[in-house]
Amino acid sequence: ETGVTQTPRHLVMGMTNKKSLKCEQHLGHNAMYWYKQSAKKPLELMFVYSLEERVENNSVPSRFSPECPNSSHLFLHLHTLQPEDSALYLCASSQDWRGDTGELFFGEGSRLTVL
């Protein structure tokens, strides 16, 4: 496995369900990110982790809960979502979260549909 891997690729859930998105990076990077991509909108940064420590929470609703158990894995736990949360959720990593070592590498995304 190389790069950034996300699972599942597609997820359909009801508003009362609890599910999780998983991201794994095989690049030896120290920083990992969750982004949300909605149609006709720029990517929105949700969370940034550096060496398992959260460095940014971009005013994301509490129904999204991130977890970073180590520098290679990142989860996004979902509960009681709304239909407007339907989007493509992208995980990214970079060598570091500052400076010129911050080139972003993205996974293929998890397409989430909330019914």
Partner 1 sequence: KQEVTQIPAALSVPEGENLVLNCSFTDSAIYNLQWFRQDPGKGLTSLLLIQSSQREQTSGRLNASLDKSSGRSTLYIAASQPGDSATYLCAGSNSGGYQKVTFGIGTKLQVIP
HSE, side-chain direction, 13 A CA sphere, residue 100: 0
Instruction: Answer yes or no whether residue 100 interacts with partner 1 by CB under 8 A.
Output: yes
Instruction: Answer yes or no whether residue 13 interacts with partner 1 by CB under 8 A.
Output: no
97-to-5, 51, 65 alpha-carbon distances in Å: 19, 10, 20
Which of 40, 53, 59, 69 binds partner 1 (CB under 8 A)? It is: 40
Instruction: Answer yes or no whether residue 21 interacts with partner 1 by CB under 8 A.
Output: no
Pairing mode of beta strands 4-7, 18-25: antiparallel
Instruction: Answer yes or no whether residue 25 interacts with partner 1 by CB under 8 A.
Output: no
Rounded to the nearest 5 degrees, what angle is found at the Cα of 4, between the Cα atoms of 90 and 63?
Answer: 35
Distance CA 108, CA 115 (A): 22
Part in contact with partner 1 (CB under 8 A); list of ranges 13-21, 43-51, 64-72, 74-82 = 43-51
* Cross-strand bridge partners of residue 114: 13
> Between residue 54 and residue 93, which ones bind partner 1 under the rule CB under 8 A?
55-56, 58, 88, 90, 92
Chain residues binding partner 1 by CB under 8 A are 4, 6, 31, 33, 40-43, 45, 48, 55-56, 58, 88, 90, 92, 94, 97-100, 102-109, 111
